[in-house]
Amino acid sequence: MFSSHNMSFPEYVHSLDKKMEVEKRREQEYRKAKQWLMEAGV
């Protein structure tokens, strides 16, 4: 958890703001990967 999101699991669990931040980053990464795949024609 720390290596991918720069926060500990307990910090993630106890903070709604942190959860929202992580989910926002995950969504951005997903969109980038999806766009890359569309451009690559996969």
pLDDT tens digits along 1-42: 556 667 777 777 788 888 888 899 999 999 999 999 999 987
Region of 7 please: left (phi>0), alpha (psi -120 to 50) or beta. beta
Q: Which pLDDT score, from 0 to 100, does residue 21 have?
A: 87
Q: List CB contacts of 12: < 8 A, sequence separation 6 or more.
A: 1, 5, 18, 19, 22
How far is it, in rounded angstroms, from Cα 42 to Cα 40? 6
Q: Which pLDDT score, from 0 to 100, does residue 27 have?
A: 97
Q: What is the CA radius of gyration of the chain?
A: 13
Q: Which pLDDT score, from 0 to 100, does residue 42 have?
A: 75
How many distinct structural domains can be found in the chain?
Answer: 1
Q: Which pLDDT score, from 0 to 100, does residue 29 have?
A: 96
Give the CB-side neighbour count of residue 38, counting CA atoms within 13 A: 6
Q: Which pLDDT score, from 0 to 100, does residue 7 have?
A: 72
**What residue numbers bound the domain in which 27 lies?**
2-40
Q: Which pLDDT score, from 0 to 100, does residue 31 have?
A: 98
